[in-house]
Amino acid sequence: MPYPAVPVRHASTGPLAGLRFGVKDLFDVAGYPTSGGQPMMLALSGIKTRHAPVVQALLDAGAGFAGKTVTDELAFSMNGQNAHFGAPINGAAPERISGGSSSGSAAAVSNRLVDFALGSDTGGSVRAPASHCGLVGLRPTHGRIPLAGAMDLAPSLDTCGWFTRDLPTFARVASVLLGSDAQPLPQRVRLLRPHEVWALLAPEVTAALAEPCSRVQAVGGTATPVDIVLDSFDAMYWHTRHIQGREAWSSLGGFITRHQPPLGPGVKERFDWSSRVTDEQVAAASAFRVQFTQRLADLLGDDGVLLMPTMPDIAPLSAAPEASLEDYRNASIRLLCTAGLSGFPQLSLPLGSRLGAPLGLSLLGPPGRDASLVALAARLVQSTI
């Protein structure tokens, strides 16, 4: 974001000493406003007087703050195109979207402006840009990393994640933000292949991920096909949207109604739709989420890890029309909602490519095994990223 530079102190030593990081403009940093990617929100923000706890933890660990990064407007998009503050450039595929809403954070890392950057993931806002920009990115177990001092979108879905270009750096940040798992994954896990999820991909996308999947399975063992879908992908999609929509309107509808801010294309329509989500839809979605979470927990147990595509394809071209980008977003939600509905951790790894652009492959594990998932990724892909 184009804010005047304000000195932000950090510890001179620590596990992250020598690393520089960016912060998505949803998180408070003392001396700066927090805009949420929306000009009127910026005008109302004022200068923050304390850091969000997650920012403070990184500073205390020796990381140096480099600046705040652009977010999609009010974090309610996955395109990486902000109508007010511009579209950050995808450092891995400049002609393609970076993905959002953590677009600026992913762009800053992929363009080597910082070593790592904080983002948030509600419906896919770390995983999508990680896949599009060729980065490592985690959506942690819901509630694992505190979100105090951050703007809400949909609190029961919101999580704090981050991006790096390589796994060793990612693991350094994980040691600070995640610590150790109370119940780690065992050394030997069961890799599982959710075949309905893979069936959503076009043949050329499946082919692009075949070699990375083979590499992972050469170390971790052959992935067993499993069913994870409850009812149908349409049911999972709509229940996710109803929960997110109701909570997004509860969080930000008052601001929108009172101040009538100009909202960019796509964002305006999503908030309009969210304002009409009914109590009956929310009740059905909430009941479905309980069932789905239990089903997935039973399937994974203490040692199961899903091996799955992060996104339906490489990033769309930046020049694609809004309608085409919305279609891509809706297709993406069908892949991304497994972690969103369950609250389980999902780690996207930059292992695939197609047409010269990155394509992520994900590991999704049982809740609370976030640090183990990072360690597992290091073993499975060894030194390839």
State the chain's maximal CA–CA distance in angstroms.
57
Residue 112 in domain: yes
Per-residue exposure over 41-61, b if at least 16 CB sit within 10 Å of its own CB, e if not: bbeebeebeebbbbbbbbbeb
Reported as a single tens digit per residue, the pLDDT across 165-196 is: 999 999 999 999 999 999 999 999 999 999 99
> What CA–CA distance (Å, rounded) separates 352 from 347?
14
Reported as a single tens digit per residue, the pLDDT across 115-173 is: 999 999 999 999 999 999 999 999 999 999 999 999 999 999 999 999 999 999 999 99
Residue 357 in domain: yes
Residue 198 in domain: yes
Estimate the share of the chain in helix, then strand, then coil, as percent rounded to the nearest 5.
40, 15, 45
pLDDT of 382 > 90? The answer is no
Residues 6+ apart with CB under 8 A from 309: 197, 198, 201, 205, 209, 335, 359, 360, 361, 362
Residue 174 in domain: yes
Q: Which residues pair with 86 in a beta bridge?
A: 82
The domain in which residue 341 lies consists of 20-233+266-381
How far CA 169 is from CA of 106, 117, 146, 157, 360, in Å, comes to: 15, 11, 21, 26, 18
Residue 293 in domain: yes
Cβ pair 142, 156 in contact under 8 A: yes
Write down the residue that tokens 């929960």 correspond to: 243
Mean pLDDT value across the chain: 97
For residue 101, whether the previous peptide bond is cis, meaning omega lies within 30 degrees of 0, is: yes
Catalytic positions, please? 24, 101, 125
Is 27 strand, coil or helix?
Answer: strand
Confidence of residue 383 (pLDDT cuts 50, 70, 90): low
Neighbour tally for 378: CB within 10 Å: 15
Nearest to 210 by CA among 226, 196, 190, 193: 193
Reported as a single tens digit per residue, the pLDDT across 332-369 is: 999 999 999 999 999 999 999 999 999 999 999 999 99
Q: Stretch 41-51: mean pLDDT, rounded?
A: 97
Q: What CATH number did the domain enclosing 347 receive?
A: 3.90.1300.10
Residue 251 in domain: no
Reported as a single tens digit per residue, the pLDDT across 101-120 is: 999 999 999 999 999 999 99
Q: State how many domains the chain has.
A: 1
Structure tokens at 313: 């394809």
Residues 6+ apart with CB under 8 A from 293: 341, 342, 343
- Cβ neighbourhood burial of 24 (10 Å; 0-12, 13-18, 19+): buried
Q: What is the pLDDT of residue 79?
A: 93
Residue 317 in domain: yes
Residue 246 in domain: no
Reported as a single tens digit per residue, the pLDDT across 243-298 is: 999 999 999 999 999 999 999 999 999 999 999 999 999 999 999 999 999 999 99
